[in-house]
A = this chain, B = another copy of it.
């Protein structure tokens, strides 16, 4: 037997018992004739003591141990003279009488402590050691607890978890599909699902009116900071529901998770903000509403003077940073640099300082009178001591830049407290979005989304104005998930494919089985998918999803620990009837 107890459970109540523990050596120190060792397992840390006076041989053996050795010890629990109030086992220690080394350890490539000296790359290469560290371990345990609470909640509501296939069909539209060559079907490929969308809709047609799945999905695309080629979704679908039914269920689920996992009671209904309003007030469809600082449009009022930057702008907008009138030149320059970063792309930043003494100072003093600027301040509801920041230019870009600037100011002002959570729903998304490059409309959510009945008449004349029964859940500026009501009628779906530029043949080839399915009695249905990795990282207070994934990939889609992807043998390729045709510069990172 390797252990009678874990390293996290023994207290003063157990004094005088003889126990056996197994675990890793966290720390060793010698003090006079005593050797103290902290032994660690998943559950905690217990102090071991070896007394040279009582057992010199054992003490010598202990002195040969090192950090991260795996040992098994037996001994009597005694009271500690020097108690450690920070850990549950801090009142006791084990006076060791037997010691067995189960595994030795070389010196780890980084320290295995709360804070480590290991850089990102090193931690990923030795991820199995990184996972020993408390913060990383806690994330993985948090993830498990959250998955369990999601299941508990949905199970109670009679949702059925159903596994949908991982080897599905590749579609020409699926530019970001991973494909999988089939050995048994020569020259043919499966694809890995970007989502189980079509299958969950088929399940609704099958009559499973409440489906869910915590499921891996896959996307082969350039990875930005917070993307992974494989990611996990809480995927759900319901029949005989309207939008409010779906929102109510998943709002409750979100509250349930906050309550159960973080003991945070969210009492109020989540605000529902239309896409249009969100873009107008926050410049983004995923606003962080932990703080106000809404965007105000100044386009009309600011034009018509000699300042051509504004006169030529499609849009002029501003935010008010409360209490920032005393920002220095240097601070304002830093903000200007911030908005000029290529990924934000503003040309420049205009400021107006509403000084405490009532004077107004701005970078556009020579074009506008204080009286005029005071009018703007009123629009922004700005007070003495506040700083107004203005951007101008092409509308979409400027709103985006204002959104980024707003977040930056929120950050600087400490308004984005990681322990406060402000969920909201964005609703009334546009059905379609225009793509300049290809000169056609794309589905903003996906081609199965139901347009709003009252906008249907605009489909032929003003398609960009048609709103969809689509919604996103946003928490603290992070898009946690989204969904929609779906089309459940063959003709409407056919039409939708037409609007999206599919030929009849393409639509049939790719989604014929779904349109066939609609012919046999499809119920009204809708659903949602939540990004589980993001949700967990939000709960964990992390900025990246990487540390809530046990074995993540890096930004090049590589697992540096197992060194994957990698070349495969010629024989393997031959069996698959494949040839790698072109390999000029392997962009391994």
Contact = CB atoms under 8 A, between A and B. Distances in A.
Chain A contact surface mostly: loop
Interface in A452-499: 488-489
Contact of A513 (B179, B562, B578): B562
A581 interface: yes
A489 B103 contact: yes
A247 interface: no
A128 B524 contact: no
A553 B164 CA distance: 12
B569 A172 contact: yes
A519 B576 CA distance: 37
Contacts of A103: 488-489, 518, 521-523
A169 B519 contact: no
Nearest to A217: B166
A9 to B, nearest CB: 11
B164 A523 contact: no
A183 B586 CA distance: 11
A145 to B, nearest CB: 9
Contacts of A582: 186, 577
A195 B179 CA distance: 20
A564 B190 contact: yes
Contacts of A160: 140-141, 144
Contacts of A140: 160, 162, 208
Nearest to A129: B520
Interface residues of A, number: 125
Nearest to A209: B42
A2 interface: yes
A244 B305 CA distance: 86
Nearest to A165: B551
A243 to B, nearest CB: 13
A564 B137 CA distance: 40
Contact of A566 (B164, B188, B241): B188
B587 A186 contact: yes
A497 B567 CA distance: 22
A178 interface: yes
| 6 tightest A-B CB contacts, nearest first | A131-B206, A169-B564, A2-B240, A105-B521, A188-B565, A187-B583
7 contacts: A102-B524, A103-B489, A128-B517, A151-B151, A184-B220, A184-B557, A216-B216
